[in-house]
């Protein structure tokens, strides 16, 4: 399997090269040259398979033997060592709970796979890597946990000051070790631009082996396809016929992964791209115009992205056709006020606690089911406790911390940073002198 750049100006590379590079040299994004179709027998047996077994069958299609099967199986069993249950909210509406991993967010799946894949290859070469990652919240904590004390890898996390929850900030700024957090005076888009500019800088590329842990990295994105298969496997035979996935969306890696799952043969009826007021992609789906804009802070902060990177992958999957994309995906966007009301209403009527991101996805699903039939699955991307202040105000009770997660009172350790590439470059070059 080779991976090409969406800009088409560089030669295709192997899986290993794609995840080491993170971004192609022509500033595109990597995509697999082909998306393999899984055999019908896989779907006939899928309800009997475990999550790691499904993960192995899906992911090995894109590795092409670069990680031997026996080692890949072990790696995936380690990555998917927690459950991803499908919970019924009400008739015809389910939540796929992606928050049972160590940092209580869906990004644990991709971050853990990327960390272990990079570790596998660096051990073979004794190669030092520097991972750069921009985060609007959950990516940072998932990457920090997934890469903590991984040999030969240093991680630098850039997050927007004052625009992530306290819980999220604690998870990525108190871990220490090989994890460094930069608190940027700006937005997520500013953080993401610093990372992208670093990958395009020739001096930095020659001084440091840089790679990314955002969903721009294929090893972050591909594993996220797995839980679409697992969710579908948990439905009844009748429900499987009309599965609709509603995805709370920020940088659109999760939705891109779902589209890949569909291209592999998973019979998904329709996708819903649900955003907060950062509605760049829903607006495109409505009117055909992609107009990036400055991000706006909301209570669903992991979705505060005004210029989503993975939109180019979505375009690639639909050959640049707005009409084809809008046939498969419906866009919705919602305000903070309606998000709060939904958290309150769903808890009052069903007892289910949505986080602010899941609430956005829930609203989109309910609006879609008013005009179309289907079995709806909302991707609950983060545990409500990560946004406890917002959630507790709406449900009138305390959200308990899951038993497998320890509360942290460790001292925050972050470096204040301006959104200035020259300063960021100086910091990285100084870091390279320690290697």
Which positions are catalytic? 107
Report yes or no: 360 and 339 within 8 Å, Cβ to Cβ: yes
Other residues' Cβ atoms within 10 Å of the Cβ of residue 79: 26
Dist CA 24 CA 47 (whole Å): 38
The three-state secondary structure class of 248 is: strand
Dist CA 321 CA 315 (whole Å): 7
**Helix segments in 46-93, DSSP class H:** 51-63, 69-79
- Both tokens of 396, joined, read 């009138």
Ordered DSSP codes for 86-134: EEEEETTEEEEE---STTSBTHHHHHHHHHHHHHHHHHHHT--EEEEEE
Report yes or no: 144 and 172 within 8 Å, Cβ to Cβ: yes
Dist CA 259 CA 155 (whole Å): 29
Radius of gyration of the chain, Cα coordinates, nearest whole angstrom:
20
Dist CA 75 CA 300 (whole Å): 32
What share of residues in the chain are helix, strand, coil (percent, to 5)? Answer: 45, 15, 35
Relative to beta strand 179-185, strand 210-212 is: unpaired
Cα→Cα distances 86→92, 94, 103, 376, 418, Å: 12, 6, 19, 11, 42
∠ Cα 348 361 97 (to 5°) = 80
Other residues' Cβ atoms within 10 Å of the Cβ of residue 162: 9
CA neighbor of 365 nearest in space, from 341, 334, 336, 344 = 334
Residues 6 or more apart from 374 whose CB is under 8 A from it?
92, 242, 243, 244, 269, 270, 368
User: Computed from CA positions of residues 341, 188, 30, 46, in that sequence, does the dihedral angle turn out positive or negative?
Assistant: negative
């Amino acid at each position: 399997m080779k991976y090409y750049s969406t800009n088409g100006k560089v030669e295709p590379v192997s899986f290993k090269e794609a995840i080491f590079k993170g971004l192609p040299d022509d500033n595109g994004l990597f995509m697999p040259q082909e998306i393999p179709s899984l055999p019908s027998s896989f779907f006939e047996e899928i309800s009997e398979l475990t999550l790691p077994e499904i993960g192995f069958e899906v992911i090995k299609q894109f590795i092409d033997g670069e990680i031997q099967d026996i080692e890949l199986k072990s790696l995936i069993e380690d990555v998917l060592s927690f459950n991803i249950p499908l919970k019924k909210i009400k008739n015809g509406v389910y939540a796929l709970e992606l928050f049972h991993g160590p940092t209580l967010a869906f990004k644990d799946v991709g971050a853990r796979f990327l960390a272990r894949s990079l570790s596998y290859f660096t051990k073979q070469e004794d190669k030092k890597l520097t991972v750069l990652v921009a985060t609007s919240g959950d990516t940072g904590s998932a990457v920090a946990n997934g890469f903590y004390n991984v040999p030969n890898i240093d991680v630098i996390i850039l997050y927007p000051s004052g625009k992530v929850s306290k819980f999220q900030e604690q998870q990525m700024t108190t871990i220490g070790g090989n994890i460094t957090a930069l608190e940027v005076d700006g937005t997520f888009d500013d953080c993401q631009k610093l990372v992208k500019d670093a990958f395009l800088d020739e001096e930095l590329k020659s001084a440091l082996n840089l790679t990314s842990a955002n969903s721009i990295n294929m090893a972050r994105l591909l594993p996220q396809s797995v839980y679409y298969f697992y969710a579908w496997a948990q439905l009844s035979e009748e429900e499987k016929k009309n599965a609709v996935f509603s995805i709370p969306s920020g940088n659109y890696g999760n939705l891109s992964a779902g589209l890949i799952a569909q291209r592999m043969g998973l019979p998904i009826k329709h996708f819903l791209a649900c955003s907060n007021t950062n509605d760049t992609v829903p607006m495109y789906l409505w009117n055909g115009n992609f107009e990036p804009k400055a991000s706006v802070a909301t209570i669903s902060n992991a979705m505060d992205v005004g210029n989503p990177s993975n939109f180019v992958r979505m375009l690639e999957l639909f050959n640049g056709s707005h009409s084809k994309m809008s046939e498969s995906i419906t866009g919705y966007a919602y305000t903070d006020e309606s998000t709060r009301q939904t958290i309150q209403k769903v808890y009052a009527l069903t007892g289910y606690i949505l986080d602010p991101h899941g609430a956005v996805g829930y609203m989109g699903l309910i609006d879609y089911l008013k005009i179309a039939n289907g079995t709806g699955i909302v991707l609950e991307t983060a545990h409500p406790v990560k946004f406890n202040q917002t959630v507790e105000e709406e449900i009138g009770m305390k959200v308990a911390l899951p038993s497998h997660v320890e509360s942290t009172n460790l001292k925050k350790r972050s470096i204040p940073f301006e959104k200035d590439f020259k300063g960021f470059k100086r910091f990285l070059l100084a870091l390279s002198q320690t290697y």
